[in-house]
Structure 1
Amino acid sequence: MTIPVLSHQNSARASAPGPALLINSLVKEFKPSKEFAAKNPHRLTEDGLHRAVDGVNLTINRGEVTVLLGANGAGKTTTLACAQGLLKPDGGSVELLGSSPWGASPELRSRVGIMLQDGGLPQHMRPIPLLRHIARMYAQPLDLDALVKRLGIDTFNGTTVRRLSGGQKQRVALAAAIIGQPELLFLDEPTAGLDPQSRSVVFDIISELRDAGVAIALTTHLLDDAQRIADRVFMIKRGTVVLSGSMAEVLAAGGKNQQTLTFTGGTGLQLVDFLPQAQSDGLVLLEKAAGRYEISGDIKPHHLVALTNYWQKLGAIPTEFTLAPRTLEDIFLELSGNEIR
């Protein structure tokens, strides 16, 4: 079952020329906490401010899903807050559907849908009355009954928002964000806490909106989800875009022949145990967990032969053996690092 995504009027607006969101050289600074200033003096400006966003350039096109990735504190949330008109930039420019989002008119805001990770929903209301109230704010809302059924919201309408599970709140928040038929949709962790069936439905809805010409800006820490749905990717580190492009371009970053080999074995294995250093060709072997290994690089047939010969000598068979192209997670961790923030 599908939902009527866009009316004729909104379809015409969604096909308008130019990007839905255009950010040029965006800068946003904050007064840092004493703790941050003490630990990161090198990241402060001459005025003692923390530059959370430092010259970000970003384009969100109509009819595309664009994913913003970054570790906690990278600056993506601040970037989107400026794009949504919640924060005033300290430098650069933001054009949201052709206008400045700071101090935007109600007409402009009605063309934008926002789904926050924490929901931002009234806690005392039940889901369907809440969505019916929101729908009345728009001239041409979606078919509420069809949307509620599609997302399974009718199955828990007897419960107030406060008592909903995390996944149920996410479904209500998504419905609230799209019910006004936005031209540009901001989604913050839209699949967090969802079961596989609900996640599949959300993916389908996002795909239908994209196909109808809606511009979608999505943030997520679920990189498998990002790789599945994204058309374009922007990776942000310390307030700067460090990598951007189509999904294919981003996955090819660092070399088209880069692959990852995952396998299991005894603990403490080193590359030299089965492969002479002269034949390693720059491969990197990591023990991701006890007895679980990952080899990355330009993996060639003789590398696989050497590894299987090693197992043959030991009389051992790995319980896991997978060869795959590099994933979005591989690229992300290389650029952002593995340390917890």
Structure 2
Amino acid sequence: MSAVTVEGLRKHYGPVRAVDGVSFTIEPGEVFALLGPNGAGKTTAVEILEGHRIRDGGTVSVLGFDPATGGRAYRERIGIVLQEAGFEEEFSVVELVRLYAGFYPRPRLPDEVIEQVGLKDKRDARVRTLSGGQRRRLDLALGLVGRPELLFLDEPTTGFDPSARHRAWELIDGLRDSGTTILLTTHYMDEAQQLADRVAVLREGHLVAIGSPDSLGQAERVSVVSFRLPDGTALADLPSLTGRVEADGSAVSVHTRQPARDLHTLTGWALERGTELANLTATRPTLEEVYLELVES
């Protein structure tokens, strides 16, 4: 059974269709990234799944619960890391984590979680003394201490320096390896590429694409095969290719929707001639390029 099943989800605010007929599933142990520009409907959809907002239509099942009616039994099985959270400034880190641990039936050890998120040296520090990045790590600790089966991560590495981002990525990878299901929202395409098993892209309340980061819509998009013409070879000597061929001196680029076929044709042609294709590369569109095309078209 899927950890999350969403079918025909709708939420309207007057004439604004914030979420309009969205359907997707998330499998147990999967990291699923929900992407889209501001106003695309991400926050509304996630808040419905968390049980913080009532939907207008469609069906939603999360860990076997309807979030709208799941109550405490549902909340005890999820963790939420908001993009911005308010803390009681006079608590110490360990005091706050212990407080949150008390809300759950089988929490993790507070000191274990504090060390895991990289706040061991700040264990006894007051929240008011923490930097922005340290507060973000505290957000993660509070989301993890309840040992959630499903973790909602909203922009989890905002404010992190590059080193802290990579440590957070390692932490998320470890959670996936332990079987935790994760729903991630992020504006960092490299983060989605690194972490997500699948990504879904929302635009104006509609789901416009879903798939793995490497395959998302790429069958329909142009890849570029590049190489240098062998000595003594003219552009006219090349075999027939499916893509558009461009040349700058001896540098050749083939813009193709069938990169595997054109690579096969080119390498076969080179082998028959007993020559090499110097600087041969095949470049597919990045997730960021695909994402921008999807949300701006």
Whether the aligned pair in 2 keeps the contact of 1:191 and 1:199 (CA below 8 Å) is yes
Whether the aligned pair in 2 keeps the contact of 1:142 and 1:181 (CA below 8 Å) is yes
> Could you list the runs of 5+ residues in structure 1 that have no partner in the other structure?
1-17, 32-48, 262-278, 284-294, 302-321
Whether the aligned pair in 1 keeps the contact of 2:79 and 2:151 (CA below 8 Å) is yes
Q: Which runs of 4+ in 1 moved over 6 A?
A: none
Whether the aligned pair in 1 keeps the contact of 2:245 and 2:255 (CA below 8 Å) is yes
Letter in 2 for 1:21: V
What whole-Å deviation, never above 9, does each CA across 1:80-111 have from its counterpart, x for those lacking one? 11111111110111111111101322121100
Cα pair distance change 1:192/1:80, threshold 3 Å = same
Would you say 1:229 and 2:229 are equivalent positions?
no
Structure 1 residue 59 displacement after superposition = 1.1
Whether the aligned pair in 2 keeps the contact of 1:251 and 1:328 (CA below 8 Å) is no
Q: Supply the distance in 2 between the matched residues of 1:75 and 1:237 (Cα, whole angstroms).
A: 7
Would you say 1:258 and 2:223 are equivalent positions?
yes
| Structure 1 stretch displaced more, 189-198 or 214-223 | 189-198
Q: Supply the distance in 2 between the matched residues of 1:241 and 1:193 (Cα, whole angstroms).
A: 28
For 2:284, the equivalent position in structure 1 comes to 325
SS in 1 for 2:96: helix
Cα pair distance change 1:125/1:92, threshold 3 Å = same
When the two structures are aligned, how many residues end up with a matched partner? Answer: 255
Structure 1 residue 163 displacement after superposition = 4.1
SS in 2 for 1:140: coil
Whether the aligned pair in 1 keeps the contact of 2:11 and 2:56 (CA below 8 Å) is yes
Would you say 1:185 and 2:151 are equivalent positions?
yes
Would you say 1:22 and 2:8 are equivalent positions?
no
Q: Give the TM-score taking structure 1 as reference length.
A: 0.69
Q: Supply the distance in 1 between the matched residues of 2:37 and 2:254 (Cα, whole angstroms).
A: 22
Give the counterpart of 2:99 among 125, 133, 146.
Answer: 133
CA RMSD of aligned residues (A): 2.6
1:235-250 matched pairs, under 5 angstroms: 235-250=201-216
Cα pair distance change 1:97/1:260, threshold 3 Å = farther
Letter in 2 for 1:25: G
Structure 1 residue 192 displacement after superposition = 1.5
Structure 1 residue 254 displacement after superposition = 2.0
Letter in 2 for 1:29: H
Cα pair distance change 1:53/1:106, threshold 3 Å = same
SS in 2 for 1:332: helix
For 1:201, the equivalent position in structure 2 comes to 167
> Could you list the runs of 5+ residues in structure 2 that have no partner in the other structure?
227-241, 247-252, 264-280
Q: Give the TM-score taking structure 2 as reference length.
A: 0.78
Give the counterpart of 1:161 among 90, 105, 127.
Answer: 127
